[in-house]
Structures are given as C-alpha cells and as structure tokens.
Amino acid sequence: MAGKPILHYFNGRGRMESVRWLLAVAGVEFEEKLMNSAEEFDNLIKSEFTVLLLIDMYVEGMRDLNDMIMYYPLCYPGEEEKNLNYIIERATERFFPVYEKALKSHGKNYLVGNQMSWADIQLFEAILMVEELKSDVLSAFPKLQEFKARMGKLPSIQKFLQPGSQRKPKMDAKNLAVAKKIFKVDDSVFLKHMS
C-alpha cells in the first residue's frame, strides 16, 4: 500500500485547504511539508513535482478548448459559422502549437515524458473533438499527428472508440434538448460570439 499523501504548501489555508477538507472527509490520513521560503518552493518546482505541475497546466489549457466545443451547440442562431471559425482558429493558433512544441522539444511519446498521463488522454480527446468540426485540423502539426496515431493504437483506446462503448457521440439536437431540460436551461438561452 502506498504511503500517506504529502501536501507541500505554506502554513496557511490558501488553495490547499479544500484539498485538506477532501482528504479529511474521505478519511485519508496525510502529511504536510510546510514551506517557509521561496527557495524551498523553487526546489519543489525543480523536483519530481514538476511533472505534476506540467500535467495540471496542460489539462487546464485543454479545458478552455473543450469548453468552447462543449458550448458550441448553444451559440446564438446565425453565429454558428463565426463560432466554428473561432474554435478552429484558437485550436490551430493557440492550443495545438503548445502541444506540438511540447512533443517536439523533448522527443518523448507523451506530453510529460514516456508515460501516459491525464494530459495525454485530454489532448487525444480534444484532437478528436476538433477533428469532428474540421477533419484536417492537424495538417500543420506532424507531432500531434504522430501522437494521435500512437494513442489510437492503444488497445484500451481502440476499445473505447468502438461503437457500443460508453463513449458518447457528438452532441445532436435531441441530446441538446435533453441536456437543457436536465440542467434547466431555457430554450431561449444562447451564447453570443465566443471571442
């Protein structure tokens, strides 16, 4: 069994307090290593925790792109093409270049080294969702093309991509209506242009 989780933070609530609450309520005992100087923080960043910070950074970046795609079906009538172009532009000029550079800079198979992480799964999902909007979106990103091909060959991913799996299809009008009903979103609610 793994040891107790160790929380690295200063001696205060900050953003770590909600993590403490979650662990306490779940009955998970944890240890704390309290930092008292910027040097300690810098050393932490340079250590093994850099991997976790990078994974979190990549995932948070992709969340922005995923949100744009998720809210696309709610765009204001008549602005569908404008929003679609915005999503593609952001994907190809802001998001995908970052991940292309990351894969190119370290020459590894995954975003953070040679071990798959949550960031890789999120990137693969984001690529597939953007490709549903524009099939040739990766044409200028050879490393992302290689990454997608490599991820697509993994047996667990192949299985999840098969019809009949628990993977959900692209949002259609019927499912959008159900989602609006569940989340009590009025049919007259639309989002203006995303930019």
The residues with which 191 forms a beta bridge, in sequence order, are 75
Counts of helices then strands in the chain (DSSP H, E): 9, 2
- pLDDT of 55 reads 83
Q: Are 116 and 162 in contact (CB under 8 A)?
A: no
pTM: 0.75
Summarised one tens digit per residue, pLDDT across range 85-135 is 999 999 999 999 999 999 998 888 999 877 888 899 999 999 999 999 999
Burial class (CB in 10 A: 0-12, 13-18, 19+), 14: exposed
d(CA 2, CA 6): 11
DSSP-derived secondary structure for 143-156: HHHHHHHHHHTSHH
Residue 34 carries which DSSP code?
E
- pLDDT of 88 reads 97
Residue range 58-62: average pLDDT? 90
Q: Are 65 and 95 in contact (CB under 8 A)?
A: yes
Q: Are 92 and 99 in contact (CB under 8 A)?
A: no
**Domains annotated on the chain, with CATH:** 6-46 (no CATH), 53-182 (1.20.1050.10)
Buried b / exposed e over 132-148, threshold 16 CB at 10 Å, is ebeeebbeebebbeebb
d(CA 148, CA 142): 10
Summarised one tens digit per residue, pLDDT across range 143-178 is 999 999 999 999 999 999 999 999 999 989 899 889
Residue range 33-50: average pLDDT? 81
Q: Are 91 and 57 in contact (CB under 8 A)?
A: no
Q: Are 127 and 143 in contact (CB under 8 A)?
A: no
The one-letter amino acid code at 76 reads Y
